Amino acid sequence: MKWENGVYLVLDQLRLPENISYIECLSPEDVARTIVNMNLRGAPLIGAAASAAIVLNYSLEDPADFRELFNMLLQTRPTAVNLRNVLEEAGCLYESNRSKTASELRDVFKTFSDHVHARDLERNLTMGENGADHLESIFGKKRLKVITHCNAGALATCGYGTALGVIRSLKKRDMLEHVFIDETRPYLQGARLTAFEMVCENIPHTLITDSTASWVMKTEDIDIVITGADRVAANGDLANKIGTYPLAICANYHKIPYMSAMPLETFDLSIMSGRSIVIEKRSDSELLFFNGKRIAPEKTAGLHLGFDVVPAELIHSLITEKGVISGGISEEKIAGLFK
Ligand code: MRU
């Protein structure tokens, strides 16, 4: 994303990799639409975009308007907690600046939004190094074969990425052999976005269907499976793109460590376990139609869940900007990251 003459420009991820084009956002509703329609996606990026949406609001002095804006943005997508966490930060900022004029408040929120974007990149760079250190401590300087799912890269964040940030850091250390990318139906974030990032970075990679992953684990000497996360509960259960749960099960069956990388912003310590995570249910037309043409019989209904939840016992390591926890994920270890 970028700002140009007071307009927030959102890279349209639905048009990648063929087209690099931007959607002009002139109002908070414009930003909200890009989130709902998946032009912009990925847990940290959704949070950052919400901070920019506030800057585009012209009646900031009115607390009722601010609350309405807050709720409108919060409802765009339910699973990734980064959105709520950034909005709550903005809410505190609003409370402590209530006496300011609308234009002063806009300046306050522009500074805040720039900070949210910049700090996400910083966190990812640190997370990438933490992840690479952790992997070096397990595998030495071995060049690793990795499976990843969906897109947890520069495109899902404000740069560098979470899971792909670790992969980028491995590449820098010459510790990367190959990346297998799940295509991730129906939006094909793996095929369109992760593969695009791998091409840009000159990283050796192969695209597979999600259902190929277990066979690749059996036949390709995979060293690790690594994904991002959209919400991590206090006990370590985590929600990520649908298909992550079976991936973690298969990784455990094959004794391959399943790891996930995320900033602390992705933790939701207010919920004890993954049972309380709200799973986004999207329109079944996104499954039933392909390229505008119906692919299933008229009388067939679809179930399109955006996310699933991986129980903590299947997780080998959680990689954050504050450090890595592994060797059994527990509430105590997670609480330790926040000290
Ligand atoms: O539906 P999406 O594309 O927003 O889902 C994205 C994911 O599930 C990512 O893996 C997650 O947000 C982590 S991104 C750093």
- The residue contributing the CA closest to ligand 1 atom 8 is 241
Residue among 238, 240, 264, 267 whose CB has most ligand 1 atoms within 8 A, to mutate = 240
- The residue contributing the CA closest to ligand 1 atom 6 is 42
- Does 109 share its domain with 227? no
Q: Which atom of ligand 1 is nearest to the CA of 266?
A: 13
- Does 26 share its domain with 68? yes
- Does 97 share its domain with 174? no
CB of 240 shorter than 6 A to ligand 1: yes
CB of 123 shorter than 6 A to ligand 1: no
Chain Cα centroid distance, residue 214:
23
Give me ligand 1 centre to Cα 328, in Å. 24
Domain residue limits at 6: 2-119
> pLDDT tens, 121-163?
999 999 999 999 999 999 999 999 999 999 999 999 999 999 9
The pLDDT of 13-17, averaged and rounded, is: 98
- Does 188 share its domain with 235? yes
* Segments in the chain forming alpha helices (H): 28-36, 43-55, 63-74, 82-96, 102-139, 163-172, 195-200, 213-219, 244-253, 285-288, 331-337
- Does 16 share its domain with 111? yes
Nearest to 201 by CA among 141, 160, 173: 160
* Beta carbons within 8 Å of 121's beta carbon, 6+ residues apart: 157, 158, 159, 160
- Does 162 share its domain with 303? yes
Side chain identity, residue 305: L
CB of 228 shorter than 6 A to ligand 1: yes
Q: Is the dihedral of CA 309, 313, 316, 318 positive or negative?
A: positive
- Provide, rounded to the nearest whole percent, the portion of the chain with pLDDT above 90: 95
Q: Which of 97, 119, 141 is a domain's end point?
A: 119
Residues known to be catalytic: 230
CA distance 37 to 35: 6
The pLDDT of residue 59 is 73
Q: Which of 119, 152, 176 is a domain's end point?
A: 119
Give me ligand 1 centre to Cα 183, in Å. 13
Mode of pairing for the β-strands spanning 307-310 and 289-290: unpaired
pLDDT at residue 197 greater than cutoff 90? yes
At 261 the three-state DSSP class reads strand
Q: Is residue 124 part of a domain?
A: no
Question: What is the residue whose two structure tokens read 């799973």?
Answer: 279
Q: Which whole-number Å values give the CA distances from 282 to 109, 246, 247, 294, in the listed order?
A: 31, 20, 21, 17
169, 131 Cβ separation under 8 angstroms? yes
* DSSP letter, residue 278: P
- Does 174 share its domain with 322? yes
CA distance 215 to 222: 10
Q: Which atom of ligand 1 is nearest to the CA of 80?
A: 12
- Does 98 share its domain with 141? no
Q: Which atom of ligand 1 is nearest to the CA of 162?
A: 15
The pLDDT of residue 222 is 98
pLDDT at residue 18 greater than cutoff 80? yes
CB of 241 shorter than 6 A to ligand 1: yes
> pLDDT tens, 227-271?
999 999 999 999 999 999 999 999 999 999 999 999 999 999 999
Confidence of residue 48 (pLDDT cuts 50, 70, 90): very high
Confidence of residue 14 (pLDDT cuts 50, 70, 90): very high
284: CATH = 3.40.50.10470
- Does 133 share its domain with 115? no
Confidence of residue 61 (pLDDT cuts 50, 70, 90): confident
Give me ligand 1 centre to Cα 332, in Å. 26
> pLDDT tens, 270-284?
999 999 999 999 999
Give me ligand 1 centre to Cα 241, in Å. 6
CA distance 81 to 209: 28
* Beta carbons within 8 Å of 167's beta carbon, 6+ residues apart: 146, 148, 161, 176, 179, 203, 226
- The residue contributing the CA closest to ligand 1 atom 14 is 152
- Does 80 share its domain with 139? no
pLDDT at residue 293 greater than cutoff 90? yes
Structural domain count of the chain: 2
Q: Is residue 268 part of a domain?
A: yes
Nearest to 181 by CA among 219, 210, 215, 142: 210
φ/ψ of residue 315, rounded to 5: -100, 125
Give me ligand 1 centre to Cα 229, in Å. 7
305: enclosing H helix or E strand = strand 304-305
CA distance 250 to 266: 24
